[in-house]
């Protein structure tokens, strides 16, 4: 085993001796993305899969694998463009896949999606899924945009299935020729994990008291990475305008200053941290549910998404949402019923929408109720993760039958679907 690659088996995740139990490798770039896999890995395990989680080293990798009943493989992958390091990571991924011999792979996030699907194709993994969570090139221009789009096409070409997590994501992929229609799949109404609607629900919260926010002060909330691509600069700018009309308003930022390429400048970070009406956790919050309950309005002014789970969490908590018409994001609300859609990059549009909702408590209440009902009906984690487990079980079963060996693996029955050549 290579010195920079380590496997940390958890006692509950030792490989089963039953050869009919399929093995899936789920790969992402950075360990922090493990936050988006909670529930997904366990659902696959409960469907009969042996699950291996691959990501760059980090506490979240080992913690998530242990909690979700998976095996962790720490393999360094750089998020930024780094040709030499990327080649090293590709070789390590290839060696790992040849050693593990999985029945199926699911790679997502731009860099792991590219390197992982290439390695899986070279290793001739029987079923290869590229999970499309969002288009990074939507925040780029010029040669970088062209390069990022090219990498999406390569990832799709190396996969059997490109699983999109929103309708508009699938439409955008088709429009730009990122993948042929035969490979593009969408399960249900989208979403990667769905939402635990029992946990994310209306209720009491200690958050206002913890941050010294008066009970009757209007709170505008945000949850996620504090970056440019999430629209945080526009949100802060619009909040200054909101304060001119509603001076007792508060902005609650539940998230951390990410050091990614779209990270905020030191000056922007300082302005946020020193603002008397902005409350920032400045760290990853393990359980954001109490924070949603402290909000009156949730705002996600993002430039690019796949399908923002934070919007569903806010909706399940009974909060109206203001988000953008960006790819993926526009699928997360029903306009004028569960929330409002605005153009990305417009502080004025944020200000107008927030003020419109702050001035109409009854409308906020109706929207919040409608949002919770919609999320419960369409995006519960049991429903969304069940669809994923069914779909993956079907792909493995069909591939085993296609190879002529039959299949003792039943998984969960689902109608047969074929995506592209093998």
- Could you tell me if 292 and 361 lie in one domain? yes
- Could you tell me if 130 and 86 lie in one domain? yes
- Contact at 8 Å (CB) between 217 and 250? yes
Does 419 reside within a domain?
no
> Is pTM beyond 0.85 here?
yes
Please list, in sequence order, all residues whose beta carbon lies within 8 angstroms of the beta carbon of residue 24, skipping any fewer than 6 positions away.
Answer: 44, 49, 50, 51, 52, 102, 103, 104, 105, 106, 392
- Could you tell me if 82 and 186 lie in one domain? yes
Q: Quick one: pLDDT at residue 368?
A: 97
**At 117, which helix (H) or strand (E)?**
helix 110-122
Residue 194: Cβ-neighbour burial (10 angstroms; 0-12, 13-18, 19+): buried
d(CA 334, CA 325): 11
Digitized pLDDT (tens) for each residue of the chain, 422 residues in all: 444 455 444 433 344 435 568 999 999 998 888 888 888 999 999 999 999 999 999 999 999 999 999 999 999 998 877 788 999 999 999 999 999 999 999 999 889 999 999 999 999 999 999 999 888 777 667 888 888 889 999 999 999 999 999 999 999 999 988 899 999 999 999 998 899 999 999 999 999 999 999 999 999 999 999 999 999 999 999 999 999 999 999 999 999 898 777 788 999 999 999 999 999 998 778 899 999 999 999 999 999 888 999 999 999 999 999 999 999 999 999 999 999 999 999 999 999 999 999 999 999 999 999 999 999 999 999 999 999 999 999 999 999 898 875 555 555 444 334 344 33
- Could you tell me if 111 and 43 lie in one domain? yes
Tokens of 408: 């003792």
Does 417 reside within a domain?
no
Distances from the Cα of 400 to the Cα of 102, 220, 365, 387, 422, angstroms = 13, 51, 51, 20, 12
d(CA 298, CA 372): 13
- Could you tell me if 215 and 157 lie in one domain? no
Tokens of 401: 């039958």
Does 418 reside within a domain?
no
- Could you tell me if 278 and 227 lie in one domain? yes
State the Rg of the chain over Cα: 22
- Could you tell me if 172 and 29 lie in one domain? yes
pLDDT tens string 207-266:
999 999 999 999 999 999 999 999 999 999 999 999 999 999 999 999 989 877 778 899
b/e string for 265-303 if b means 16 or more Cβ within 10 A?
eeebbeebeebebbbbbeeeeeebbbbbbbbbbbbbbbb
- Could you tell me if 324 and 389 lie in one domain? no
- Could you tell me if 359 and 261 lie in one domain? yes
Helices (H), ranges, 329-410:
347-358, 361-378, 381-402
Distance of CA 160 to the CA centre of its chain: 21
Does 157 reside within a domain?
yes
DSSP designation for 35: G
Tokens of 328: 């993926």
For residue 177, the enclosing domain spans 6-194+381-402
Distances from the Cα of 25 to the Cα of 99, 286, 387, angstroms = 12, 25, 18
- Contact at 8 Å (CB) between 323 and 350? no
Distances from the Cα of 76 to the Cα of 82, 175, 276, 321, 388, angstroms = 12, 33, 40, 37, 27
**CATH number assigned to the domain comprising residue 279:** 3.40.50.2000
**At 155, which helix (H) or strand (E)?**
helix 142-158
Does 413 reside within a domain?
no
pLDDT tens string 105-125:
999 988 999 999 999 999 999
Q: Quick one: pLDDT at residue 53?
A: 96
- Could you tell me if 254 and 338 lie in one domain? yes
Does 336 reside within a domain?
yes
Does 422 reside within a domain?
no
pLDDT tens string 295-312:
999 999 999 888 999 999
- Could you tell me if 343 and 387 lie in one domain? no
Does 256 reside within a domain?
yes
> How many folded domains does the chain comprise?
2
- Could you tell me if 334 and 385 lie in one domain? no
């Amino acid at each position: 085993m290579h010195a920079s690659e380590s496997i940390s088996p958890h006692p509950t995740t030792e490989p089963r001796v039953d050869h009919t139990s399929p093995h899936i490798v789920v790969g992402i770039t950075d360990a922090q993305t493990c936050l988006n896999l909670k529930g997904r890995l366990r659902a696959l395990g409960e469907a009969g899969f042996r699950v291996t989680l691959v990501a760059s080293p980090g506490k979240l990798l080992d913690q998530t694998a242990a909690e979700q009943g998976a095996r962790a493989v720490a393999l360094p992958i750089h998020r930024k463009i780094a040709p030499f390091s990327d080649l090293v990571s590709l070789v390590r991924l290839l060696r790992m896949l040849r050693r593990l011999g999985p029945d199926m792979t699911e790679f997502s996030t731009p860099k792991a999606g590219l390197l992982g699907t290439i390695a899986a194709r070279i290793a001739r993994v029987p079923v290869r899924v590229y999970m499309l969570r969002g288009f990074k090139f939507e925040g780029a221009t010029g040669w970088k945009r062209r390069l990022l789009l090219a990498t999406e096409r390569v990832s799709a070409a190396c996969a059997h299935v490109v699983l999109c997590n929103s309708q508009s994501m699938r439409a955008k992929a088709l429009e730009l020729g990122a993948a042929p229609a035969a490979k593009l799949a969408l399960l249900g109404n989208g979403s990667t994990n769905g939402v635990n609607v029992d946990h994310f629900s209306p209720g009491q919260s200690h958050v206002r008291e913890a941050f010294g926010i008066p009970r009757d002060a209007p709170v505008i909330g945000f949850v996620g990475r504090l970056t440019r691509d999430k629209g945080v600069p526009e949100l802060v700018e619009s909040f200054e305008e909101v304060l001119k009309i509603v001076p007792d308003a508060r902005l609650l930022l539940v998230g951390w200053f990410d050091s990614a390429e779209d990270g905020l400048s030191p000056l922007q970070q300082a302005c946020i941290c020193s603002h008397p009406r902005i409350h920032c956790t400045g760290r990853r919050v393990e359980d954001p549910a109490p924070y949603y309950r402290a909000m009156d309005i949730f705002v996600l002014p993002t430039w690019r998404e796949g399908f923002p789970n934070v919007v569903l969490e806010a909706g399940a908590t009974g909060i109206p949402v203001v988000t953008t018409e960006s790819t993926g994001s526009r699928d997360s609300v029903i306009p004028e019923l569960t929330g409002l859609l605005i153009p990305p990059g417009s502080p004025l549009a944020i200000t107008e929408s927030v003020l419109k909702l702050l001035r109409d408590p009854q409308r906020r209440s109706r929207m919040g109720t409608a949002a919770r009902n919609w999320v419960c009906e369409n995006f519960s984690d049991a429903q969304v993760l069940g669809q994923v487990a069914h779909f993956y079980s079907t792909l493995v079963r069909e591939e085993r039958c296609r190879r002529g060996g039959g299949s003792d693996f039943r998984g969960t029955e689902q109608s047969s679907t074929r995506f592209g050549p093998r």
